[in-house]
Amino acid sequence: MKKIVLSLTIAMAIFSCNSVKNVNTSSMADAATLLSSLSSNSTVQQVSSLFSLLDSNKDEAISSTEAIGSVAENFTTLDTDSNSSLNLTELTGLLGLLK
């Protein structure tokens, strides 16, 4: 129940953010739901699906403005090449941070 409430809170915060006004809101809601369901036992396929949902401009990278939840909170740690964006390999590092 807590994960559902957290997912909805994150989604509502994203919807109100000016930097994502042109983003497909259903994709962001799906991303928030998927992100809240991830655990250290999740698969790379699930992370790949999350990547696709978060990459709103389809440039094969997640910027800090596209990141939500624990991805945003751990963005600097996940950005191992320090290029201010996350590729799929870097996002997969999220699995190691989940408990």
pLDDT tens, residue by residue, 25-79:
788 899 999 999 999 899 999 999 999 999 999 999 999 999 999 999 999 999 9
CA 7 distance to own-chain centroid: 11
Which two tokens mark 26? 């259903």
CA 85 distance to own-chain centroid: 12
List the beta bridge partners of residue 86: 62
Which two tokens mark 27? 């994709």
**Of all helices (H) and strands (E), which one includes residue 86?**
strand 85-86
Is 15 a residue whose pLDDT tops 60?
no
pTM reported for the whole predicted model: 0.74
CATH architecture, domain 2-97: Orthogonal Bundle (1.10)
